[in-house]
């Protein structure tokens, strides 16, 4: 065989290997996402496009890849997907799920839902309390699930803004700060996975609006959300939030402790309406920045912040304040670069 023939043979072999790999990958991506037999309720709405349907299947963690699912729909001829409510599970392969949707294996019962509003600055524990009051979900079971490492890893795989930072065992509640505050339509008979993914999908939409700024930041998304959660608790209006963010950055840059009461409240598990004791202020936990030896950010967010607070952290004020005092009665925040003036603020408004 001449040299040209050998080259063609090698190229042909490489092409065959690539094709074999792609075929293998295609069939692998049709396999089940997990061994969980837990029921997952899925709804196809009248008028949903094929792309919207596979998007929703991916967001519900029912399929591995939405594009492979879309290809399968057209290759298999299962294009007549019927609107309705379905009971699925993650042990089903993609082809079985698509067949269920095309065959119209709809459940007869209509799922009841309730509107639940999760306010800005609210903690994850408060979220869970609202869910336990309005749905079939049990508070303690939810608390265990949201800190389960396997559950968290499945979410990290599916959401670009989640990282191994949330697996830190010092964090009280792994998803604190990541569940976007909004009003949601939640089914009264549901599971925590379904609810969490609904909220993370909303977080994804919000963070996508500032993705370029997040990517350009010297801080991780986890750190940005941690700062935003502090800003959310300390200030009400956007102008003040930008200034609080500036103070946080300055203190981090000069290796000065943040010294913010809101982190102490969270660290010791107290409501902002309660008084902090000296014991609380000196409690050595991974959130309490009031301890002078605590340099840097808390281990994670202390509440679920609004997009306003996130934007303030990404675009801090061009000021040079080192101190501020937040008047909890009026919501006013007083800023200064002079420590003695800060003490005057505490005396007047404290």
CA–CA gap between residue 21 and residue 91 (Å, rounded): 24
Q: Does residue 160 contact residue 204 with C-beta atoms inside 8 Å?
A: yes
pLDDT of 75 over the 70 cut: yes
146 occurs within a structural domain: yes
3 occurs within a structural domain: no
Sequence-ordered strand ranges (E) for 289-339: 323-326, 333-336
Query: For position 104, what pLDDT does the model report?
Result: 85
295 occurs within a structural domain: yes
Residues 162 and 54 in one domain: no
Residues 159 and 226 in one domain: no
Length of the chain: 350
98 occurs within a structural domain: yes
Structure tokens that stand for 173 in this block: 């509640």
21 occurs within a structural domain: no
Residues 262 and 203 in one domain: no
**Model confidence pLDDT, tens digit, residues 167-205:** 999 999 999 999 999 999 999 988 899 899 999 999 999
> Which three-class secondary structure state does DSSP give residue 198?
helix
pLDDT top residue among 26 and 288: 288
pLDDT top residue among 269 and 79: 269
**Model confidence pLDDT, tens digit, residues 112-134:** 889 999 999 999 999 999 999 99
Which of these three, 79, 103, 127, is where a domain ends? 103
Query: For position 85, what pLDDT does the model report?
Result: 86
Residues 228 and 125 in one domain: no
CA–CA gap between residue 159 and residue 161 (Å, rounded): 6
Residues 145 and 255 in one domain: no
Query: For position 3, what pLDDT does the model report?
Result: 65
CA–CA gap between residue 63 and residue 334 (Å, rounded): 51
> Which three-class secondary structure state does DSSP give residue 161?
coil
150 occurs within a structural domain: yes
Query: For position 236, what pLDDT does the model report?
Result: 93
Average pLDDT, the chain: 91
**Model confidence pLDDT, tens digit, residues 288-327:** 999 999 999 999 999 999 999 999 999 999 999 999 999 8
Torsion of CA 151, 152, 153, 157, to 10 degrees: 110
Residues 176 and 290 in one domain: no
pLDDT of 18 over the 80 cut: no
Torsion of CA 69, 61, 36, 148, to 10 degrees: 160
Sequence-ordered strand ranges (E) for 29-157: 39-44, 84-89, 113-117
C-alpha torsion sign, points 88, 90, 95, 98? positive
Query: For position 217, what pLDDT does the model report?
Result: 97
Q: Which residue range(s) make up the domain with 153?
A: 113-208
**Model confidence pLDDT, tens digit, residues 81-106:** 988 888 888 889 999 899 989 988 88
Which of these three, 57, 78, 103, is where a domain ends? 103
Structure tokens that stand for 117 in this block: 């509003």
Instruction: State the pairing for strand pair 183-187/113-117.
Output: antiparallel
Query: For position 141, what pLDDT does the model report?
Result: 94
174: number of CA atoms within 13 Å, CB side?
23
**Phi/psi of residue 179, nearest 5 degrees:** -100, 105
Structure tokens that stand for 88 in this block: 């699925």
18 occurs within a structural domain: no
pLDDT band at 135 (very low <50, low <70, confident <90, very high): very high
CA–CA gap between residue 13 and residue 20 (Å, rounded): 10
Residues 39 and 123 in one domain: no
> Which three-class secondary structure state does DSSP give residue 166?
helix
**Cβ within 8 Å of residue 22, ≥6 positions away:** none
Query: For position 87, what pLDDT does the model report?
Result: 86
pLDDT of 16 over the 80 cut: no
CA–CA gap between residue 314 and residue 133 (Å, rounded): 36
Total domains present in the chain: 3
Which of these three, 152, 184, 208, is where a domain ends? 208
Residues 69 and 137 in one domain: no
57 occurs within a structural domain: yes
Helices (H), the chain: 3-28, 50-59, 66-76, 94-103, 124-134, 139-146, 149-158, 192-208, 211-216, 221-234, 238-253, 261-268, 278-281, 307-314, 339-349
DSSP-derived letter for residue 107 is -
Nearest alpha-carbon partner for 213 in 311, 319, 316, 318: 311
Share of the chain above pLDDT 70, in %: 93
Residues 79 and 185 in one domain: no
CA–CA gap between residue 211 and residue 217 (Å, rounded): 10
Query: For position 340, what pLDDT does the model report?
Result: 93
């Amino acid at each position: 065989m001449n040299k040209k023939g050998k080259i063609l043979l090698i190229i042909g072999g490489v092409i065959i290997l690539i094709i074999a790999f792609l075929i293998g990958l295609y069939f692998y991506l049709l396999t089940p996402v997990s061994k969980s037999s837990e029921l997952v309720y899925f709804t196809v709405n009248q008028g949903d496009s094929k792309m919207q349907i596979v998007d929703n299947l991916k967001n519900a963690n029912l399929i591995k890849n939405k594009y492979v699912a879309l290809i399968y729909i057209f290759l298999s001829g299962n294009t007549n997907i019927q609107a309705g409510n379905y009971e699925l599970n993650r042990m089903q392969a993609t082809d079985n799920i698509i067949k269920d949707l095309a065959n119209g294996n709809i459940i007869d019962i209509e799922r009841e839902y309730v509107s639940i509003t999760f306010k800005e600055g609210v903690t994850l524990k408060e979220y869970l309390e609202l869910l336990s009051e309005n749905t079939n979900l049990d508070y303690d079971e939810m608390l265990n699930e949201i800190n389960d490492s396997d559950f968290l890893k499945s979410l990290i795989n599916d959401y670009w803004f989640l990282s191994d930072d949330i697996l830190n065992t010092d964090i009280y509640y792994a998803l604190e700060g990541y569940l976007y505050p909004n009003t949601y339509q939640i089914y009264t008979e549901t599971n925590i996975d379904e609810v969490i993914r609904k909220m993370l999908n909303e977080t994804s939409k919000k963070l996508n609006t500032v993705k370029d700024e997040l990517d350009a930041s010297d801080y991780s998304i986890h750190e940005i959300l941690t700062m935003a959660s502090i800003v959310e608790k300390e200030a009400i209006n956007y102008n003040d939030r930008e200034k609080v963010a500036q103070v946080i950055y300055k203190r981090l840059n000069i290796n000065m402790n943040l010294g913010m009461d809101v982190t102490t409240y969270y660290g010791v598990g107290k409501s902002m309406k309660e008084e902090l004791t000296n014991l609380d202020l000196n409690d050595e936990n991974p959130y309490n920045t009031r301890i002078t030896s605590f340099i840097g950010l808390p281990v994670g967010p202390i509440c679920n912040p609004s997009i306003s607070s996130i934007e303030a952290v990404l675009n801090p004020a061009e000021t040079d304040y080192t101190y501020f005092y937040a008047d909890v009665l009026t919501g006013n925040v007083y800023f200064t670069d002079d420590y003695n003036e800060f003490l005057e603020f505490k005396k007047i408004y404290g």
